[in-house]
Structure 1
Amino acid sequence: MSQVEVAPPKHQQDEHVESIEAEAEQSTKSALASQDVSGVKKDDALQLIEDMGYSTILTPENNKKVLRKIDLRLLPILLAIYFLQQLDKSTLSYASVFGLIEKAHLHGKMYSWLGSVVYLAQLVFQPLVSYLLVKVPLGKFLAVSCLLWGIALSCMTAANTFASLLVCRLFLGIFEAGIAPAFIAVTQMWYRRREQPVRLGSWYAMNGVVNMFGSLITYGLGHINSSVFEPYQIIFLFFGLITVGMSAAILFLMPDSPITSKFLPEEDKLVAIERLRMNQQGMESHEWKWDHVKEAALDIKSWLWFSLMLTISIPSGGITTFGPLIVESFGFDQLNTILLNVPFGAVQLIATMGGAWLATFWKMKSPVLALLCLPPIAGCCMLLNIPHDGSHKGPLLVGYYIISVYPGITPLIYSWSAGNTAGETKKKVTTGILIVGQCVGNVIGPTLYTTEEAPLYKRGLTANLALFCVLIVLILLNATYLFFLNKKHEKQRVAAGKDAKVVDHSMHAVGAVVTDKEGAPIQQVVNDNAFKDLTDWANEDFVSAYT
């Protein structure tokens, strides 16, 4: 069992600095030599190193400085985009409380399909999204996506029939299809694997913020008296126009990559590259590789990610769409129903960020994922067994609130997948497969609930309970498979004349010395393959984070 010594003796520190300097020199030579004889570059990071003529030494000091710059530029933009995306999708559930169902004459599964069609559109467009994310600059992609989905939401103001609402929601889904995959790509491009869970969790935590502040904003909009617009129409128009305005800010502020960013000086760009060297995943390449596509399709773990995301997204889709109606079924009026979603959002926020922090602290994701499944299991049991009458409103709300721990699961699956996949095209295709699972789940989820089943919603809650149990089994299967992949890479390293045991330093703090039980430093991953755009199968230096 290895341990991290943050402050080793001085003679070890000197030796460690010398090893870092030697490694940096070797990394530069390797980087400059890692283009093939035809001169075709493998990763855009290599071109920058070649243009500069040297690499740089990554230290705790310059790492901290550059990471802070990256966070201050990227995180506010990502948080704002995801806040608006989740808010825009949630407008349907808010509008349902303010008369949309009655005004648009929705009945049977019509309302359920308005929730599902967004994810159905995202499912169909994932192959195109995967291709575009390789070929198109990420900043421009996000700006255009935000503009188009804002227009689609604004158009819902004029929709007053099931058909017109369905068309608007369809286009909303198409234009939002690339947001989560693009965010995962941004996280892979800018952050070390140790840093990814908290960053992925931070933007996904906007689900909770939306349930808190979105509910309060909607509460205020619901009090507007207008002779022209219904309350639900005001909700659509207000959030749609804000989203359109946000797209302009994204266009000017969101960088496409560390290599082309304008907010980082040239030296800091080299630091940003060195920060990612230990990920063994590359940084950026705009070449679409069909052998990566084939590998992603044949890789068992691609389908394990798919299964994990499908299993969590079915309950997520149903509860997101029917959450306010479930609370209303406890016996609350319209405005109180909206306000009572604020604590639901607070629990989501705490669970998402708490789970991400715990996974970073433990350097393990699978135990945290299994732990996050337990409260939703308990919550579903409570809602299925507690009588739905006026004297049990409190316990019913508690059951509903502890179900809301489930959003902490999705970003950890994102980061587990993102940290275990390498190769530019394979990363995008694998993310696409994962998002397809999410979309299928979100299409199925709302259909398990119908307005006719109020107030118990027994079928939907029973299905959700079973799926949270299945999720724990899938987590264990995935961890086991990744463990055996590491064993396979150990044999490949031995065959290549390297040490079998290496340490994935992307999971440790920069500058930390990792030692074995006797105190001897453990070899870190060889850097020669870092920017060759190799997949995790092809790169024997790649270490899977199986836990």
Structure 2
Amino acid sequence: MSDDKFDQQRLESTKSIDSRTKRPFSTGSEETNEKHVPVSVSFGDAAQAILGENTHQPMMVTAEENSRVLRKIDKWLLPIMLGVYFLQQLDKSTLSYASVFNLQTDAHLHGYEFSALGSIVYIAQLIWQPVSSFFLVRLPVGRWLAFNVLMWGIVLSCMTSALDFPRLLTARFFLGIFEATVAPTFVTITAMWWRRREQTQRTSFWYAMNGVTTIFGSLMSYGLGHIKSPHLKPYQIIFLFTGLLTVVFSLFVFLIMPDSPTTARFLTTPQKIIAVERLRANNMGTETKVWKWRQVKECLLDPKTYCWFLMAFLISIPSGGISTFGPLITKSFGFDQLSTILLQMPFGAVQVLATVGAGYAATRFKLKSPILVFLTLPPIAGAAALLHIPRGPTHRGGLLAAYYIISFYPAISPLIYTWSSQNTSGHSKKTLTTGILFIGQSAGNIVGPFLYTTAEAPLYHRGLTSSMACFAALCAVVGATAAYLAFLNRQQSKRREALGKSGSYIDTSLETREDAEKMQGQNGSRFGEKAFDDLTDRQNEDFIYVL
């Protein structure tokens, strides 16, 4: 069926439904009388602009309609998100590649100065996250993302001329400022466009670009490292190439990335309605451009907020150290410069498989906490092995195997992102919660590189021991968070029963499209009626917490 026929069929069927319910149907292009909208579009959720008076009246979305619109969303948004996250990690990783090509010697770096270059990006992000969270609510999401991609590409290109510690430190600081908004923006975009069941797998896709970057970046650095230039050193060529590539890609972000489902040019009006309606079961809305201080207060008083902060902090300590010192750890096994670069490729491949596989498992079993606990076990084993296997040519195989086993840890972060996002509602609260989570991530990434120092090569005893401790502590926090979410679900059930609703709702947002269609109506006609009122998870009794 063509899109035109499909859209006309949906338009007619929706009008028919609305005529039976005595509710006028709004396509979003008609003028809406503001007094008929229970919550104003400017203050409530952006979905109200397209749904009009149908905001509180759920509409049937068939599996066929859902699949058609989902394919379009994936086709237009995922390539941009994958590209941006790939470039962000590639640009951030240029420091580790540069270290193999004697950046420390040429820039006269001493003591903790190389560690400081790894940490300064996250210090900048730590400072900028609260500001970025505010701008993410107030500014158009797509345009804000494109601006930041452009600016960090320019900064990285200019880093070619930074040949001493002060200038490298300054460039890396501004790189952190402009990269600070990417992951929080992606968490917001993922929650804005996909059902909760779909979010985990999509997040694992764009986060898996970290591993793809490791593979491609190793090949790129190997190739660029062979260029003999009378004016530029190999690491300067790497900075310039990746910076200009990012600048060019920012144009595609500006032209393609929409600000919300209601403004997407690649969707027709009936498709926009379906894109919004299919999110109703999330009970999380889409977006609003009003910063609500009441939601800020609730966020700061919510124990969940600090659970996400702790998880992000604990996983980022080993992440910050290993990502910065990974090539140096491999080099300590006795490999030369170019071999060290190429040997990062299997690390990236394992990372991609672990990240996508964990996303699939969490989606399949509709649980995050058990998967998170499982993912901490291989890194603990790998770090323990590196501490006990002697260094030397005869042990290279075992050392590499242990190093590659550690690469399961990157799969943890995207699950924390989606677990936090899926358990937080209210646009201001969600955005601030995400900002606080990334403050924890930035703080951990600041600490991590200082626990791995060149003075402790080749064993890096303190860094590996601290990584094992962080993974163990993460298990404890995950368990405590899951127990608290189960308690909140029991409270929500009691609230619904007191209001005359069913206490045992089925979370259809976590079901397959076919199962969700079969289950429509089982929660009662009032389920999801407040989904687009921009309420927090504590204000909306229909909200179901994900374990």
TM above 0.5 = yes
1:58 to 25, 38, 61: 61
* Aligned counterpart, 1:45: 47
Matched residue, 2:362: 359
- Residues 214-273 of structure 1: per-residue CA shift (max 9 Å, x gap): 100110000000000011100001101111111111111111111011000000000001
Cα 1:295–1:401 change in 2 (3 A) is: same
In structure 2, the partner of 1:529 is 530
Residue 340 of structure 2 corresponds to which residue in structure 1? 337
Matched, 1:159 2:182: no
Say how many residue pairs are matched: 524
Paired residues for 1:111-510 under 5 Å: 111-510=114-513
Query: Cα gap change, 1:486/1:115 in structure 2, threshold over 3 Å: closer, same or farther?
Result: same
Inter-CA distance 542–203: structure 2 relative to 1 (3 Å threshold): same
Give per-residue Cα distances to partners, 1:477-512, cap 9 Å, x unaligned. Answer: 110010001011111111111111111111112342
Shift of 1:47: 1.9
Q: Which moved more, 1:43-52 or 1:132-141?
A: 43-52
In the alignment, the residues of structure 2 paired with residue 463 and residue 100 of structure 1 have an alpha-carbon distance, to the nearest angstrom, of 27
Cα distance in 2 between the residues matched to 1:149 and 1:27: 52
SS of the residue aligned with 2:262? coil
CA distance in 2: counterparts of 1:42 and 1:27, whole angstroms:
23
Structure 1 residues 121 and 515: CA distance shift in structure 2, 3 A: same
Cα distance in 1 for partners of 2:39, 2:215 equals 57
| Matched letter for residue 148 of structure 2 | S
Q: Which letter does structure 2 place at the counterpart of 1:285?
A: T
1:274 and 1:51 mapped to 2: Cα distance?
13
| TM-score (structure 1 length as normaliser) | 0.92
Task: Name the CA shift for 1:39/1:464 in 2 (closer, same or farther; >3 Å).
Answer: closer
Q: CA deviation at 1:36?
A: 3.7
* Cα gap change, 1:320 to 1:420, in 2 (>3 Å): same
TM-superposed deviation, 1:29:
8.1
Given that 1:515 and 1:522 are in contact with CA atoms closer than 8 Å, whether structure 2 keeps it comes out as no
Question: Any idea what SS the aligned residue of 1:143 has?
Answer: helix
Q: In structure 2, the residue corresponding to 1:533 is in which secondary structure?
A: coil
CA distance in 1, matches of 2:36, 2:234: 61
Q: Aligned partners of 1:366, 1:23: CA distance in 2, in Å?
A: 41
- State the AA in 1 paired with 2:141: L
Deviation at 1:35, TM superposition (A): 3.7
Deviations 1:14-39 (A, max 9, x none): xxxx9xx9899779789999844878
Distance 1:331 1:122 in 2: 35
Paired with 1:504 and 1:130, the residues of 2 have a C-alpha distance of 29
Distance 1:475 1:30 in 2: 45
String of CA shifts for 1:22-80, please: whole Å, max 9, x gaps: 89977978999984487865112112112899975311000000000000000000000
SS in 2 for 1:382: helix
The amino acid that maps onto 2:106 is K
Larger CA deviation: 368-377 vs 25-34 = 25-34
8 Å CA contact 1:28–1:55 kept in 2: the answer is no
Say whether the 8 Å CA contact 2:119–2:445 is kept in structure 1.
Answer: yes
CA distance in 1, matches of 2:122, 2:137: 22
Deviation digits for residues 358-404 of structure 1 (CA, Å, limit 9, x no counterpart): 10011111111111111001000100000011110100000000000
Note the C-alpha offset of 1:528.
1.1
RMSD: 2.3
Any idea what the Cα deviations from partners look like across 1:326-385, whole Å, max 9, x if unmatched?
A: 000000000000000000000000000000001001111111111111100100010000
* Cα distance in 1 between the residues matched to 2:447 and 2:293: 31
**Pair 1:103 & 2:103 matched:** no
Change (3 A) 1:392 1:545: same
Per the alignment, in what secondary structure is the counterpart of residue 542 of structure 1?
coil
- Normalization by structure 2: what TM-score? 0.92
Q: Distance in 2 between matches of 1:221 and 1:28?
A: 63
Change (3 A) 1:513 1:357: closer
Distance 2:21 2:284 in 1: 19
Cα distance in structure 1, aligned partners of 2:525 and 2:537: 17
Q: Is the 8 A contact 1:380 1:461 kept in 2?
A: yes
Q: Secondary structure at the match of 2:482?
A: helix
In the alignment, structure 1 residue 541 sits paired with structure 2 residue 542: yes
Q: For 1:34 and 1:341, how far apart are their aligned partners in 2?
A: 59
- Larger deviation: 63-72 or 36-45? 36-45
Q: Assess if the C-alpha contact under 8 Å between 1:503 and 1:525 holds in 2.
A: no
Cα distance in 1, alignment partners of residues 205 and 224 from structure 2: 27
Structure 2 runs not aligned, ≥5 long: 1-12, 27-31
> Cα distance 1:24–1:195, how it changes in 2: closer, same or farther (>3 A)?
farther
Change (3 A) 1:23 1:370: farther
Q: Percent identity?
A: 53
Q: How many Å separate the matches in 2 of 1:66 and 1:27?
A: 27
CA distance in 1, matches of 2:23, 2:179: 40
Runs of 5+ consecutive residues of structure 1 not aligned to the other structure: 1-17
Distance in 1 of aligned mates of 2:506 and 2:304: 22
CA distance 1:191–1:513, shift in 2 (3 Å) = closer
Q: Compared with structure 1, are the counterparts of its residues 505 and 51 closer, same or farther at alpha carbon in structure 2 (3 Å cutoff)?
A: closer
